[in-house]
A and B are shown apart, each in its own frame.
Chain A
């Protein structure tokens, strides 16, 4: 019989299963790598570390390549040697500068190599590789953890702001129509594509300060067009919100592959807004001029939007409809008009966000909307589906989180962190930070 204890058993079972899964994963990671580089390996990499003709003892190096990582320390004659299993492949040899005496660093004569203490070499068929580092006097530039943290926080703020531009639109659309619009991601990409066509050197090559606002206007126009041809007729027809969600999925597919049709699979760049170069801000935090302009634009637009939402009649009507559509309609608000304006504004904001995102990544691809969409959903859910301020708060948190988490987690997993937060929030507080309980049914 369906037992009363099933739920408890299910939870317990899931925990055990998850633990087993983690254990298996751990074993899978540890076992294979331990099996490799052994004493009997036939090929050799070696070198001597000297400074002003004096051998240096106790300097640490790491050699990485097929066979896994190996650590080695120089002996009294400054020599180091490792055995490796393969030849004809590349190895990465890293000298740990913090084990060098004070004031001694690895020197780069060419002036181009940023990390002269890390070298990649191919071992030829001979099976022997020798490598010596050039040492000289110099200052080691160390980036402290705190510096890195601030740099990431700053980047995260930038990203969070542009995410917010797109997310508030998504949240407002949900609030006023009840639709989770999966095609919103493609509105973001559309802004970037429009900018590319207007500003790109291969096409119209308009100046950046003309092209970008035009791209935003075009995005807004697309929002209007979609509302007029798709969303409003279907609302009139009384199509349910779940069906509309799936329709938005179909729409996102169609638009996304249209993008691929027109711009192919390459990464396209927009011409820079301002001349490049890093501007040091405070501490070791640097930013490019583009970053600063992007943040400035985001902040200005968000403040303008917030003012509009709070002060203007349409803005208030929007919030009224989000709160209680039936009541809003009976109190004389023209719901259709307000909803159309919401679609237009959200599309325009999304387009702007797309342009800024292209500068940030950097580069525009046909499918960049997909990952952005998930982050938007994470931001909106975290902040509270249906509230614009919630979307703003959620976006900032997600933006800062994804950037700073890469200090601890491999870079290609940083979005996973944001997504796990999303799932966690749904478990603990589904209405988000600023949302209200009754909404989630």
Chain B
């Protein structure tokens, strides 16, 4: 059991693009659910639209990387509008079903061989990094220390991810302390009361859906930034993992999603390495891929326990009663 490597990898995951991507996705979901009370089970679709929008713009249309990112974000906003119009009037679990169905339709559209020329179908998309790497301000070299040692490309990816996350967090922070945030809190508690005071509830819910969706798409872009766009990633399991991260940290808080994603990924990485070490050294009599599936079982169990015993998460207020109804 190579403990040194296990801990090294675990610590490195704190700053991995996956963690940053999850943090963004969870932040977007916090706006949907934590502040708006919208049960969005289509997180994976928003992330996919961000990632595919980014990659397709670069590969098929020859956009520069920031243009691709813009397309991904705008695509998510459009998707939110299209999704919201029929579904925002629906009660909780109806919205969940509608969003999960919409997400599956999006995934199928990206997977189908009909559009394979553009989307790469089951193979996904890769090789779109040239433009991003070309704008790297960091000269060639090694940066950082210990488990956080990166070459200039990895550093650039992480810096970009962190800047995006910081910007999004600041945005959300400011919103929650504004009168707009006050209206959203009221809507979450009792829509009819807010309506009777003259506020257009539908419009506010739509704004929250679009904003959260755009932030989720940013997460998808960060996820795809260093590697590839693989349709096998944007499945309902991804949505459920992001939900777990959000509930873990605290759904109705600004920093909860960040903390939850961090804890989620650190534990995931630790378990992967730990279980792998156990199987390699023969302590566990199974293949390492089998051991890998065990950690997802644990995620499922964790979600179950969380939602019943600690729905407010680490940073949430127990009195807040995360689930209104």
Contacts and interface: CB of A to CB of B under 8 A. Distances in A.
B1 to A, nearest CB: 22
Nearest to B206: A10
Contacts of A424: 86
B300 A254 contact: yes
Interface in B43-101: 56, 60-61, 75, 78, 81-82, 85-87, 90-94, 96-98, 100-101
Interface in B295-319: 296-308, 311
Interface in B88-140: 90-94, 96-98, 100-102, 104-105, 108-109, 111-115, 117-118
Nearest to A18: B82
Nearest to A380: B97
Contacts of A154: none
Interface stretch (A119-127, A257-265, A357-365): A257-265
A415 B300 contact: no
Contacts of B86: 423-424, 426-427
B7 interface: no
B100 A426 contact: no
B300 A250 contact: yes
Interface string A369-412: 01100100110010000000000000000000000000000101
A325 to B, nearest CB: 16
A127 B308 CA distance: 66
A440 interface: yes
Interface string A241-283: 1110111011111111110110010000000000000000000
Contacts of B206: 10
Contacts of A7: 200, 202-203
B109 A413 contact: yes
B297 A10 contact: no
Given A29-B117, A374-B104, A426-B98, A253 B81 contact: no
B100 A242 contact: no
B104 A249 contact: no
Contacts of B118: 28-29, 32
A205 interface: no
Contacts of A138: none
A21 interface: yes
A165 B283 CA distance: 43
B267 to A, nearest CB: 15
B293 interface: yes
A241 B325 contact: yes
Main secondary structure of the interface of A (DSSP, over half): helix
B240 A249 contact: yes
B307 A253 contact: no
A252 B300 contact: yes
A197 interface: no
A412 B303 contact: no
A4 B78 CA distance: 21
A423 B112 contact: no
A441 B324 CA distance: 15
A176 to B, nearest CB: 15
A410 B114 contact: yes
Interface string A231-245: 000100101111101
Interface in A1-51: 2, 4, 6-7, 10-11, 13-14, 17-18, 21, 25, 28-29, 32-33
B195 interface: no
B265 interface: no
Contacts of A6: 200, 203
A430 interface: yes
B101 A14 contact: no
A254 B301 contact: yes
Contacts of B199: 2
A10 B97 contact: no
A345 interface: no
Given A2-B203, A246-B243, A423-B87, A180 B112 contact: no
Given A240-B323, A426-B86, A245 B200 contact: no
B236 interface: yes
B21 interface: no
A407 to B, nearest CB: 15
B237 interface: yes
Nearest to B115: A29
Contacts of B307: 243, 246-247, 250
A350 to B, nearest CB: 18
A17 B78 contact: yes
A266 B104 CA distance: 22
A33 B85 contact: no
B229 interface: no
Contact of A14 (B85, B96, B202): B85
Contacts of B61: 28
B236 A247 contact: no
B94 A426 contact: yes
A226 B163 CA distance: 45
A261 B294 contact: yes
Nearest to A230: B304
A433 interface: no
A412 B115 CA distance: 11
Contacts of B244: 250
B142 interface: no
Contact of A412 (B60, B113, B243): B113
A260 B294 CA distance: 9
Contact of A240 (B293, B296, B325): B325
5 contacts: A7-B203, A13-B81, A249-B303, A260-B293, A427-B87
Interface of A: 2, 4, 6-7, 10-11, 13-14, 17-18, 21, 25, 28-29, 32-33, 180, 234, 237, 239-243, 245-247, 249-258, 260-261, 264, 370-371, 374, 377-378, 381, 410, 412-413, 415-416, 419-420, 422-424, 426-427, 430, 440-441
Given A254-B300, A410-B113, 4 more contacts: A2-B204, A261-B293, A422-B101, A440-B91
Q: Nearest 4 CB-CB pairs, A to B?
A: A254-B300, A253-B300, A250-B303, A427-B86
